[in-house]
Chains A and B, each alone.
Chain A
Amino acid sequence: MPEETPTAQAPDYHYPPMDQRKVIGTRVTRLDGIAKSTGAAKYNSDVTPKDLLFAVLVTSPYAHARVKSIDTSAAEKLRGVTAVRTILEAGKEVQWEGQEVAIVAATTEEIARDAARLVQVDYEVLPHMVREDDLDKAGANAKPAGEQVSGDPDQAFKDADVVSEGVYGIPVITHCCLEPHGLSVAWNGDHIDYWPSTQGVSDAAGDLARALTVPASNIHVDMQYIGGGFGSKFQAEAFGVQCAQLSKASGGRPVRLFLDRDLELLNMGNRPSGFGNIKVAAKKDGTITAWQSQTWSTGGLGGGGFGAELFPYVYHQVPNRRVNHTAVSTNCGSARAWRAPNHPQASYLTCSALDDLAAKLNMDPLDLFQKNAGYTARADSYRAQLQKAAELIEWKKNWHPRGEGTGVVRRGLGLGVGTWGGAGHASKCLTTIHPDGTVVVELGSQDLGTGTRTVIAMVAAETLGLPVSAVQVNIGDNKYPQSGASGGSTTVGGVSASTRKASVNALQKLFEQVAPSLGTTPDKLEASEGVIRVKGDSSKSMPWQMACNKLGVNKISEMGENEPRRAPREGLNSSGVAGVQMADVSVDTETGVVRMNRMVAVHDCGLVINPRTAESQVMGACIMSICAALSEERVMDQQTGRMLNADMEFYKLAGIGDIGEIIVHMDITPENDKRGAIGLGEPPTIPGIVSIANAVANAIGVRVGRVPLTPDRVLAALEGRNA
């Protein structure tokens, strides 16, 4: 088939060269900042439609049980209750603590809670398995995927100068979105008003429609703000579908349910664990020659977790390797995408093993990671980023060989690496130029707090030669053109490209209207600094508003679309990034407490539209990594089958005083810029945890084989015990 050739009239969508940009690349304040910091921003958990009812779930207290009977009669009789529904029929099994069994709706939340307590459920308790850390105890719940071998690992291990072995583990963590999963929904006749907390505004109606077998076109989705998602808020939840049914059964009154914290942590997704027995071989000079890993993890009932093919992570082209991965099924809530699915675990397991290898070689791990960069897919990026990060954390000045720290409080440095794709998703945008000069940009997208609104406005403003404040951005509603869900770092690439194309197309139409008045042709015009002018002749120009007045009564509305298949050719976005993070910690060897001194993060993400929000996102990811490295862990009790910390007291997130200093360096270069926009949601969440774990090993001289690096584990490692 012949290559598609662009028509002669196809506009040039490329961004102007870096040095000619007025808006893109500047540090723009997020557009919805004031709404959020004054409390005026209405999240869907804040939306209170008239005659609102409240729903409360009845859930299983057991990790595994059979429902013998459900009696809802007492609940139904309670004054104020408008509807009760059973979710599981008698005879069905519940498979984890928190699984939904029934649901009630009432005029107040207090009454709904009383009603939920009145639902009588009899269970036959069945055996459960909720822990996967000891693979030997997993029995039939363990399902190995099968060994994959490349090269000749046996010979390579035999020939090696040094072989390093270790066992490492990273637990399940939850998303712990501050705004819990939830919705309000009103089902009136044919029409459904739907206010979900979702990462996919354009897709949400279709998802609910399928479950309810109503036309998606009858569902209106509105979500202006979302209080965190991190990969866990894509689907219309089972309870969401139930709430719609409760609304219908309650005469169409709106029903709201935003989950309590325990159910949020039990049911609404988590990141699979990652454990591994790992063996690495190398030559004396640090060249890695072989890799062997037996990894295992749980993602809940379905087993799940990542594949063996991820190993060794980033250093993927090690010539001889033997890998196997075992998925362990547990009676726990199911895993969901969690920022950079599987990569933080793979980075943790791989970079821990490589750091231990360096220690065994008496080598600086920075040198080992540098030396083997040829095994990565982006060798130049890793070399440059390792060097830059080392400079920023003053590696050569502050690093000491493992275990050579002295005193009670010992300082250490560690590093980690990551990689991600981040190609832009499918996105459509409508740019409208009104005769009075106002500009409206509309997409069925969503801003997860990453700054999507701001980025869209910046791209339109750059294209139209206007200040950011002149662009009105409408998102968060499925009446706008369809745009992808926000997952996998795909949003910025998608929405920036569709906005750019729609705005170029609209501007083109405006040029056609204005060219005669300026005595020229449309192709000779440019829009910059609030005027339309003849390129190279600033004497022939017209202010933006005057140009728009030429439209008479006819506004210009033009679409732009990012099609992932064609995007790479258009140069507006691409995928594939590196990333390096380093940590500087102090460990109190008497108490086992780890303190963060500093973290450095160096990342590339192609063309950076707003360095200000990009840096914020990287800092946030570093802080999430600090949580996961030092305190965050889902703790399951095999005796009772329950999660011991389904709350925020003992499911521990770092506080403002726990994070040390964070230095972010975005790798903004002409080479990276040429690639177009690449997403940044996932990459910075990957290398941080292991950089902290490696820094602790460097500080105290021994590997703490499990994160989070809690004081008990640190002390046990210091005493040579297994914690």
Chain B
Amino acid sequence: MSEKKSPKTSASKASGFSRRGFLTSVGVTSGALTTGILGTAAPAAAAEPAVAGPGPVPFTLTINGKPYKVNLEPRTTLCDALRNHLEFTAAKRVCDRGTCGACTVILDGKAVYSCTVLAIDAQGRKIETLEGISTPDHPHAVSQAFVNNDAQQCGYCTPGFVVAAKAFLDHNLNPTYEEVKRGLGGNLCRCGTYVGVRKAVLEAAKHQHGVANA
């Protein structure tokens, strides 16, 4: 997995909930966990940790610039929060384990797999979904480039790819072909649209470059 996809794992001060607090609340000690994401998420908690859950907790998510009040269990992933509890369904739940990238959203400017971010950890942070980036009436250059280069078949991986490509291009103004292949390595497609995706990202980069130079 590329580094850019690692979700932010430090406890969010704005939230009032630390990850250790969450882990305590569901009766698991962080020391027992060896998975990458949780394993790195054990900040030294000096004070008594705040406890959230296990029942629903009210909090606010800022999605595409607007606040949304939610009442969710701390275990609910950002992906499920978006899809099941709000109506942001562009991000898709496919592997649900941080492998395929179909659920990619942008969190504080970085592409993340929303299936590996807890919704409660996303509070106070800037969440951008494809709905906020691109619409049929005002498609983002990346979306348009995907259409122009037929970079989609069934289209289920497409929103994740478009968001990942947008985030990649935000950080790589003028990527090479090889950089595109590496930069989009965190997203999988089953129909086999990669040839179109490579062309689309390069086309969008050119467009972006043109805008930047204008």
Q: Chain A residues with Cβ under 8 A from B96's Cβ?
A: 260-261
Q: How far is the CA of A612 from the CA of B193 in the complex (A)?
A: 13
Is B134's CB within 8 Å of the partner chain A?
yes
Q: Which of A606-622 contact B (CB under 8 A)?
A: 612-613, 616-617, 619-622
- Contact among A39, A48, A450 for B153, CB-based, below 8 A: A450
Q: How far is the CA of A180 from the CA of B76 in the complex (A)?
A: 20
- Contact among A39, A54, A108, A226 for B131, CB-based, below 8 A: A39
- Contact among A228, A619, A656 for B156, CB-based, below 8 A: A228
Q: Chain B residues with Cβ under 8 A from A649's Cβ?
A: 95, 97, 99
Q: Which of B126-165 contact A (CB under 8 A)?
A: 129-131, 134-136, 139-140, 142-144, 146-148, 150-159, 162
Known: A32-B155, A624-B192, A656-B181. A40 touches B136 (CB 8 A): yes
- In the complex, are the beta carbons of A261 and B130 less than 8 A apart? no
- In the complex, are the beta carbons of B136 and A616 less than 8 A apart? no
Task: Of the listed stretches B15-23, B43-51, B81-89, name the one at the interface; the rest are far from the partner chain.
Answer: B81-89
- In the complex, are the beta carbons of A656 and B184 less than 8 A apart? yes
- In the complex, are the beta carbons of A36 and B158 less than 8 A apart? yes
Q: How far is the CA of A48 from the CA of B87 in the complex (A)?
A: 8
- Contact among B131, B184, B190, B198 for A178, CB-based, below 8 A: B190
Q: How far is the CA of A110 from the CA of B146 in the complex (A)?
A: 35
Is A162's CB within 8 Å of the partner chain B?
no
Is A635's CB within 8 Å of the partner chain B?
no
Residues 65-109 of chain A, each 1 if its beta carbon lies under 8 Å from chain B, else 0: 000000000000000000000000000000000000000000011
- In the complex, are the beta carbons of B155 and A41 less than 8 A apart? yes
Is B197's CB within 8 Å of the partner chain A?
yes
Is A176's CB within 8 Å of the partner chain B?
yes
- Contact among A41, A226, A653 for B188, CB-based, below 8 A: A653
Chain A minimum-CB-distance residue to B140: A38
- B73, B130, B142, B191, most chain A CB atoms within 10 A: B191
Is A701's CB within 8 Å of the partner chain B?
no
Q: Chain A residues with Cβ under 8 A from B197's Cβ?
A: 656
- In the complex, are the beta carbons of B191 and A261 less than 8 A apart? no
- In the complex, are the beta carbons of A619 and B192 less than 8 A apart? yes
- Contact among B187, B190, B195 for A619, CB-based, below 8 A: B195
Q: How far is the CA of A617 from the CA of B152 in the complex (A)?
A: 10
Q: Chain B residues with Cβ under 8 A from A368's Cβ?
A: none
- In the complex, are the beta carbons of B97 and A34 less than 8 A apart? no
- In the complex, are the beta carbons of A37 and B192 less than 8 A apart? no
- In the complex, are the beta carbons of A647 and B84 less than 8 A apart? no
- In the complex, are the beta carbons of A178 and B156 less than 8 A apart? yes
Is A140's CB within 8 Å of the partner chain B?
no
**Minimum CB–CB distance for A205 against chain B, Å:** 22
Known: A228-B191, A617-B153. A42 touches B89 (CB 8 A): yes
Q: How far is the CA of A571 from the CA of B198 in the complex (A)?
A: 39
- Contact among A37, A177, A261, A621 for B147, CB-based, below 8 A: A37
Main secondary structure of the interface of A (DSSP, over half): loop
Is A33's CB within 8 Å of the partner chain B?
yes
**Minimum CB–CB distance for B128 against chain A, Å:** 12
- In the complex, are the beta carbons of A110 and B192 less than 8 A apart? no
- In the complex, are the beta carbons of A227 and B143 less than 8 A apart? no
Residues 98-136 of chain B, each 1 if its beta carbon lies under 8 Å from chain A, else 0: 011010000000000000000000000000011100111
- Contact among A33, A54, A180 for B84, CB-based, below 8 A: A54
Q: Which of A175-208 contact B (CB under 8 A)?
A: 176-180
Residues 32-57 of chain B, each 1 if its beta carbon lies under 8 Å from chain A, else 0: 00000000000000000000000000
Q: How far is the CA of A177 from the CA of B154 in the complex (A)?
A: 10
Is A29's CB within 8 Å of the partner chain B?
yes
Q: Chain A residues with Cβ under 8 A from B69's Cβ?
A: none
Chain A minimum-CB-distance residue to B147: A33
Q: How far is the CA of A488 from the CA of B146 in the complex (A)?
A: 28
Known: A34-B143, A620-B192. A647 touches B97 (CB 8 A): yes
Number of A-B contacts (CB under 8 A): 181
- In the complex, are the beta carbons of B159 and A647 less than 8 A apart? no
Q: How far is the CA of A38 from the CA of B89 in the complex (A)?
A: 11
Q: Chain A residues with Cβ under 8 A from B147's Cβ?
A: 29-30, 33-34, 37
- In the complex, are the beta carbons of A176 and B92 less than 8 A apart? no
- In the complex, are the beta carbons of A225 and B155 less than 8 A apart? yes
Is B13's CB within 8 Å of the partner chain A?
no
Is B67's CB within 8 Å of the partner chain A?
no
- In the complex, are the beta carbons of A620 and B99 less than 8 A apart? no
Chain A minimum-CB-distance residue to B182: A657
- In the complex, are the beta carbons of B153 and A449 less than 8 A apart? yes
**Minimum CB–CB distance for A291 against chain B, Å:** 32
Known: A40-B136, A179-B92. A655 touches B155 (CB 8 A): no
Q: Chain A residues with Cβ under 8 A from B184's Cβ?
A: 656
Q: How far is the CA of A48 from the CA of B144 in the complex (A)?
A: 27
Q: How far is the CA of A656 from the CA of B179 in the complex (A)?
A: 11
**Minimum CB–CB distance for A3 against chain B, Å:** 42
Q: How far is the CA of A613 from the CA of B194 in the complex (A)?
A: 14
**Minimum CB–CB distance for B148 against chain A, Å:** 7
Is B205's CB within 8 Å of the partner chain A?
no
Chain A minimum-CB-distance residue to B85: A108
Q: How far is the CA of A109 from the CA of B24 in the complex (A)?
A: 22
Q: How far is the CA of A450 from the CA of B156 in the complex (A)?
A: 13
Is A288's CB within 8 Å of the partner chain B?
no
Q: Which of B60-78 contact A (CB under 8 A)?
A: 73, 75-76
- In the complex, are the beta carbons of A227 and B154 less than 8 A apart? yes
Q: How far is the CA of A621 from the CA of B158 in the complex (A)?
A: 17
Chain A minimum-CB-distance residue to B181: A657
Is B185's CB within 8 Å of the partner chain A?
yes
Chain B minimum-CB-distance residue to A619: B195
Is B169's CB within 8 Å of the partner chain A?
no
**Minimum CB–CB distance for B193 against chain A, Å:** 6
Is A328's CB within 8 Å of the partner chain B?
no
- In the complex, are the beta carbons of A178 and B157 less than 8 A apart? yes
- In the complex, are the beta carbons of A178 and B154 less than 8 A apart? yes
**Minimum CB–CB distance for B83 against chain A, Å:** 7
Q: How far is the CA of A258 from the CA of B95 in the complex (A)?
A: 12
Is A35's CB within 8 Å of the partner chain B?
yes
Q: Apart from A33-B146, A43-B92, A178-B94, what 12 extra A-B contacts exist at CB < 8 Å?
A: A32-B155, A37-B134, A37-B147, A37-B162, A39-B131, A45-B92, A46-B92, A654-B194, A656-B181, A656-B185, A656-B187, A662-B195
11 A-B pairs whose Cβ atoms sit less than 8 Å apart in the complex: A30-B150, A30-B152, A33-B152, A37-B147, A39-B89, A39-B91, A624-B190, A653-B189, A655-B185, A656-B180, A656-B194
- Give chain A's interface residues, CB within 8 Å of chain B: 29-30, 32-43, 45-46, 48, 54, 108-110, 176-180, 225-228, 230, 258, 260-261, 448-450, 612-613, 616-617, 619-624, 647-649, 653-657, 659, 662
> Shortest 7 CB-CB distances between A and B: which pairs?
A39-B90, A623-B192, A227-B156, A620-B192, A36-B155, A449-B154, A449-B153
